[in-house]
Amino acid sequence: MDLNLKGKVALIAASSRGLGKAIAAELAAEGAEVMLTSRNREHLKNVQQEILPTARGKVEFFPCDITNDDEINALFKATRQRLGNLDILINNAGGPPGGGFEQIDDTAWQAAFELNLLSYVRLIRAALPDLKQGGGRIINITSSSIKQPIPGLVLSNAFRMGVLGLAKSLADELAPFNILVTTVAPGRIGTDRTDYLDQLKADQRGIDKQQVVNESLQNIPLRRYGDPVEFARAVCFLASDASSYMTGSTLLVDGGMVRGY
């Protein structure tokens, strides 16, 4: 199937590692013009060089702290200058620290709000002038916590749901401009973030990390963690013309882990 992504301009937040990096690589391989961004210039440069051999479009990078509105505006200015007007916005951010309610202070709550919810608001606001011209895609990366809360991750449980509510509202408001808004929720995907959470749980329980992994696998019908490429392919589908009648939707990529309807 031709996804018709060739020449589309895509900006992927938090794309120097993990799921963001995998999404950027897949979009570039499909022919999209890709803008990488994260706070670390050296990491971005390395990812650019890694992606270029399989890319069928341009791959650029621009460092940006997505909790800083001025830096976001500079990012979009650079994207337009180097690649043209935006067609696809992939909202993504590193997960907030783990911990239960009584372990989290106001500083951590504020930081998680700015990183995992307000940054999405600001990125969307900056993207709208481009997307309103010819339609496009806004894809929000969240977590399986939008379907069932994850113990010990109160910050993620709270703010990922905020992103879901935002996406549902925007799907209605932006439909007249042919801007489709979707949410993608990863389950246990093999990234540094998943490794961190497994180690955190192991440390809290005083057990070996592999025991935590084995227990997690028992809750996944496919009995394995997902590969970031598998997740990225699902995102590419939503970014493409193949998903032209999907908006306001939520897609779980979790190997069957979430049992709820």
> Shortest CA distance to 193 belongs to which of 101, 92, 105?
92
CB 38 within 8 A of CB 27: no
Rounded Cα distance between 193 and 112, Å, is 15
Q: What pLDDT tens digit does each residue of the chain (261 aa) get?
A: 679 999 999 999 999 999 999 999 999 999 999 999 999 999 999 999 999 999 999 999 999 999 999 999 999 999 999 999 999 999 999 989 989 999 999 999 999 999 999 999 999 999 999 999 999 999 999 999 999 999 999 999 999 999 999 999 999 999 999 999 999 999 999 999 999 889 988 998 999 999 999 999 999 999 999 999 999 999 999 999 999 999 999 999 999 999 988
Residues of the chain with CATH 3.40.50.720: 9-189+228-253
Q: Residue 186 gets which letter from DSSP?
A: E
Which CATH architecture does the domain made up of 9-189+228-253 adopt?
Answer: 3-Layer(aba) Sandwich (3.40)
91: its two tokens: 């909202």
The pTM of this model reads: 0.96
Return the SS3 of 243: helix
Q: Residue 189 gets which letter from DSSP?
A: B
Rounded Cα distance between 42 and 40, Å, is 6
What are the start-end ranges of the E strands in the chain?
9-12, 33-36, 59-61, 88-91, 136-141, 179-186, 250-253
Rounded Cα distance between 45 and 16, Å, is 9
Residues facing residue 29 across a β-bridge = none
Other beta carbons within 10 Å of 128: 18
